[in-house]
């Protein structure tokens, strides 16, 4: 049984100004989780956590998510070996989003496409608005076919 008590949400002041942990999940039971590299600060991925994933992340110190594509609890790195060790976990003002700072094992990649970060393309802005995306990582850190084999690609159209 989990040792973590999520508190009921009783007031705006409690949620914003107190040290009580009263997380709020969305209508689908999920909360967005921003995962960043602890050393560089770069954002690696935006994942989703249900109640169980959040508890396991906190208790084990390794990032767990809920896979929306596969609709299952997902211990990041269980297939690829690229486990994310949590250096720090934070909650936001209204306690409906998580920010993890992690160290990633192995090749240090966190993206199933093979790049270090899932955010490997820049969107041109301002005067360049409307132009094509610009790749910011020039090579993959691993071969997804070798690592994942025939596991279905999680990207949905």
**Residue ranges in contact with a copy of itself by CB under 8 A:** 3-5, 9-12, 15-21, 24, 32, 34, 36, 40-43, 45-46, 57-61, 86, 88-94, 97-99, 111-113, 115, 118-126, 129-130, 132-136, 153-157
State the nearest-atom distance from the C-beta of 106 to a copy of itself, in Å.
18
State the nearest-atom distance from the C-beta of 126 to a copy of itself, in Å.
4
Nearest CB to a copy of itself, comparing residues 40 and 79:
40
State the nearest-atom distance from the C-beta of 44 to a copy of itself, in Å.
10
Nearest CB to a copy of itself, comparing residues 13 and 72:
13
Nearest CB to a copy of itself, comparing residues 61 and 106:
61
* C-alpha distance from residue 28 to each of 48, 81, 142, 154 (Å): 11, 29, 33, 18
Nearest CB to a copy of itself, comparing residues 97 and 147:
97
The three-state (H, E, C) secondary structure of the chain, written as one string: CCCCCCCCCCCHHHHHHCCCCCCCCCCCCCEEEEEEECCCCCEEEEEEECHHHHHHHHHHCECEEEECCCCEEEECCCCCCCCEEEEEEEECCCCCCEEEEEEECCCCCCCCCCCCCCCCEECCCHHHCCCCCEECCCCCCCCHHHHHCCCCCCCCC
State the nearest-atom distance from the C-beta of 33 to a copy of itself, in Å.
9
Nearest CB to a copy of itself, comparing residues 74 and 115:
115
């Amino acid at each position: 049984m989990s040792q973590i008590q999520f508190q009921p949400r009783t007031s705006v002041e409690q949620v914003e100004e107190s040290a009580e942990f009263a997380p709020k999940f969305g209508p689908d039971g999920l909360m967005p989780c921003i995962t960043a590299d602890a050393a560089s600060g770069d954002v690696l991925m935006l994942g989703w956590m249900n109640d169980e994933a959040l508890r396991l992340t906190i208790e084990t110190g390794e990032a767990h998510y809920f896979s929306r594509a596969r609709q299952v609890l997902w211990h990041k790195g269980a297939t690829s070996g690229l486990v994310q060790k949590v250096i720090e976990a934070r909650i936001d003002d209204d306690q409906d989003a998580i920010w993890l700072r992690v160290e990633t094992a192995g090749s240090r990649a966190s993206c199933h496409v093979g790049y270090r970060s899932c955010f490997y393309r820049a969107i041109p802005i301002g005067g360049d608005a409307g132009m094509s995306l610009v790749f910011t990582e020039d090579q993959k850190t691993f071969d997804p076919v070798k690592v994942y084999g025939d596991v279905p690609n999680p990207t949905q159209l």
